[in-house]
């Protein structure tokens, strides 16, 4: 029996340039009225944490993620999104969102620990987290705090595709990047432009 093809929308986009922007991208198509949830269950959150590399080197990086962790992650994600958007637009920050992000940023992160010296000096260092998911989300929240309060905020943009809501850090030399990625929305825009020009030529 052939397995169904993976849904390309379910793939995590890591094109924001910052962990907090990649995390808010786990809810796609925000502006369409049909948002796409890329974190439908705790396993998906565990997979995002692993693919994001937030617990790299941790002994328990793939530790259990609970339904409570998932609910907390989604709540934090939306606070992060509203906070970044408000800061981008120069609007007042919602106090409830500020409190949510600050609380997450204050949680324990990975802690360095000494391991057994049997395999040589390089094996001495271990990274531990009592609860891997909240530790990873603490890293995400701290990244958002530094981004919103720092000079790079002026370089955060939203993708020019009206069907896409991804935020990204424009690291282009001329600061004229319009799309979240040329492989995604940039290519779609090129194809649409080509078809529009072809139709205009054919009707002359």
Q: Over the stretch 142-191, which tens digit does the pLDDT of each residue have?
A: 999 999 999 999 999 988 787 787 899 998 776 677 777 666 675 554 54
- Please tell me the distance from the alpha carbon of residue 136 to that of residue 120, in angstroms, as a whole number: 28
Average pLDDT over residues 33-46: 92
Q: End-to-end CA distance of the chain, in Å?
A: 52
Average pLDDT over residues 200-204: 51
Binning pLDDT at 50, 70 and 90, where does residue 42 land? very high
Percentage above 90 pLDDT, the chain = 49
Answering whether pTM is above 0.85, one says no
HSE-up of residue 51 (Cα within 13 Å, Cβ side): 14
What ranges make up the beta strands (E) of the chain?
Answer: 27-28, 36-37, 111-114, 125-128, 156-158, 167-169
């Amino acid at each position: 029996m052939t397995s169904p093809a993976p849904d390309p929308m379910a793939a995590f986009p890591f094109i924001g340039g910052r962990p907090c922007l990649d995390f808010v991208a786990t809810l796609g198509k925000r502006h369409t009225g049909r948002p796409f949830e890329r974190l439908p269950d705790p396993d998906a959150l565990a997979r995002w944490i692993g693919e994001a590399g937030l617990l790299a080197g941790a002994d328990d990086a793939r530790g259990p993620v609970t339904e409570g962790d998932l609910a907390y992650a989604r709540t934090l994600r939306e606070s992060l999104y509203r906070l970044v958007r408000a800061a981008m637009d120069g609007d007042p920050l919602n106090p409830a969102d500020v409190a949510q992000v600050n609380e997450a940023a204050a949680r324990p992160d990975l802690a360095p620990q000494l391991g057994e010296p049997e395999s040589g000096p390089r094996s001495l260092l271990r990274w531990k987290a009592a609860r891997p998911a909240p530790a990873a989300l603490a890293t995400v929240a701290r990244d958002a705090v530094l981004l919103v309060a720092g000079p790079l905020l002026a370089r955060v943009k939203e993708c020019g595709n009206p069907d896409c809501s991804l935020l990204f850090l424009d690291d282009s030399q001329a600061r004229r990047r319009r799309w979240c990625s040329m492989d995604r929305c940039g290519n779609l825009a090129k194809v649409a432009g080509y078809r529009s020009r072809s139709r205009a030529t054919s009707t002359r």
